[in-house]
Amino acid sequence: MNAGRIRRAPRRRGAGVLICLFASLVQATPVRADDFLAPPEPSAYRMEDFRAPVPATLKGARVLTTGEAFALFTAKTAAFVDVLPHAPKPANLPAGVVWRDKIRMDIPGSLWLPDVGYGAIAQQTMDYFKRGLEKASGGDLNKPLVFYCLKDCWMSWNAARRALEIGYRQVLWYPDGTDGWEAEGHRTEQRAPEPRP
């Protein structure tokens, strides 16, 4: 036996094939960092902690990126519905107290229906939501409707799900909302909420 020779382990071809196969799968399936953080889609409405990471999906709806939302906006083929909550002016403010509404800048041409994205809403709010959607859609259940608020805002997820249950067939959910819109340099405009009953 020659003491100077080093014996090599036998070559395994299968390991190389597996590494190549894995590398090709990773390249073929793009993964976003947000996909690892997204919680699973719940089976019911979100009832609390509305500013938290949202799921990557909404069964029955199409989820939009900012690019896709902007393309729909440019083509004017969808109605945009902002559902960010808004505190109304209290009816019994003491004399001399100044009330200032918080300014909302949203996607131009949107209809702002505040408070319709909570997990449980009163019948009066549901009626307000239905009237607002009828206005946005022109009464057409096939009209594409884009629901949004801010990034990581369950209000838009809940409202889009609610629109599906009402019977709208082309529900589009834009989870990045005005945060994603402005981050891409798209224009916003000041909006007042749709009057409540």
Q: pLDDT tens digits for 125-146?
A: 999 999 999 999 999 999 999 9
Q: pLDDT tens digits for 73-130?
A: 999 999 999 999 976 666 776 777 665 667 889 999 999 999 999 999 999 999 999 9
The answer to whether the predicted template modeling score (pTM) of the entire model surpasses 0.95 is: no
The total of structural domains in the chain comes to 1
Written as one string, the DSSP assignment of 70-92 is HHHHHHT-SEEEE----PPPPTT
Query: Sheet of 111-112: strands edge to edge?
Result: 62-63, 171-173, 145-148, 79-82, 111-112
Q: Label the pairing between strands 79-82 and 145-148.
A: parallel
Q: Does pLDDT of 16 surpass 50?
A: no
Which region holds residue 176: left if phi is over 0, alpha if psi is between -120 and 50, else beta?
alpha
Query: The domain containing residue 79 runs over which residues?
Result: 53-87+103-197
Looking up residue 120, the CATH number of its domain turns out to be 3.40.250.10
43 part of a folded domain = no
161 part of a folded domain = yes
| Beta-bridge partner residues of 112 | 82
14 part of a folded domain = no
Collapsed DSSP state (helix, strand, coil) of residue 33: helix
15 part of a folded domain = no
109 part of a folded domain = yes
For the ranges 20-34, 55-69, 91-105, the one whose mean pLDDT is highest: 55-69
45 part of a folded domain = no
Output the pLDDT for position 101. 67
Output the pLDDT for position 149. 97
122 part of a folded domain = yes
